[in-house]
Amino acid sequence: MTDPIRPRRSVLFMPGANARALEKARELPADGLIFDLEDAVAPDAKVAARRAVAAALARGGYGRRELVLRVNPLDGEWGEADQEAAVQMPLDAVLLSKVEMAAQVREAVAGLDRAGASPGLALWCMIETPRGVLAANEIAAASERVTVLVMGTSDLGKDLRARDTPDRLALLTSLQLVLLAARAHGLTALDGVHLDLADDAGFAALCAQGRDLGFDGKTLIHPKQIAPANAAFAPRPDELARAERIIAAHDAALAAGNGIAVVDGRVVENLHVAAARRMLALAAAIAELAA
């Protein structure tokens, strides 16, 4: 599946059992919403949460936000029914948790196909264990339905027995391996959540770090995190201005019979033009989403 350029700066987890949250989400400026039937829902509320999400989606009103359903593990009590229900909902994607091997992806795809999923229903995979990180390349390549890899940094840090430090030093190798796998297969990569809701400065720093590493956006657990994530993962005005200069200079160089140009003292080649065009396309998509 070809994954189009679309804003995924802020993707907010919404507890499927929380009716107030499902209602409020219609007004939030997040690029995407993940309706969570797994970690955020108690066992005795799983079935009711699935019905609540289905009813909320049927009512609509979520605008152009990307809509994703996180299902329970397929080898558990609720996963298969979650996936069958997802096919009947107006969703963009289904999110699988704790993906550790390509076989899990193929099993999920087979289930979606049996349930009659449309070709456009994508599959997102959470990478949140050491085995998942080491298998990220195979997971990314397992199906054309896979379009997004999502870092599960909380569970990963636990499994690594790592200290939770502001610089996330213990997680950097894992973050980069998953990002490499995503980019190798043309997929989106989303950074993990930040659990300390009182740590505004720390959250902003993690957004900046994730953007510097190359992530497309961040998964969130609270609406207060949306605005900082949107700002961090959007192209800055100075970046857009430079992108326009790069394209103009390169076009002028080609017209003059040259293969390269110089912008702000730096050589510009085809690869820089491609990056500039992608940045402008992302900015246009963000503007369209906000319209």
pLDDT 10s digits, 239-252: 999 999 999 999 99
pLDDT digit string, tens, across residues 16-30: 999 999 999 999 999
Does the pLDDT of residue 128 top 90, yes or no? yes
pLDDT band of residue 6 (cuts 50, 70, 90) is: very high
pLDDT of residue 135: 98
The predicted model gives 107-130 an average pLDDT of 96
pLDDT digit string, tens, across residues 78-102: 999 999 999 999 999 999 999 999 9
Does the pLDDT of residue 5 top 70, yes or no? yes
pLDDT band of residue 212 (cuts 50, 70, 90) is: very high
Domain boundaries, the chain: 10-232, 237-290
pLDDT of residue 76: 87
pTM of the model: 0.95
Does the pLDDT of residue 66 top 60, yes or no? yes
C-alpha span between 58 and 27 (Å, rounded): 16
pLDDT of residue 47: 95
Q: What is the topology classification, in CATH, of domain 10-232?
A: TIM Barrel (3.20.20)
* Across 44-58, 138-152, 251-265, 274-288, least confident range: 251-265
pLDDT band of residue 43 (cuts 50, 70, 90) is: very high
Mean pLDDT, the chain, as a whole number? 95
pLDDT of residue 260: 82
Does the pLDDT of residue 280 top 70, yes or no? yes
pLDDT band of residue 3 (cuts 50, 70, 90) is: low
The predicted model gives 187-210 an average pLDDT of 97
Percent of the chain with pLDDT over 70: 99
| Other CB atoms within 10 A of residue 177 CB | 15
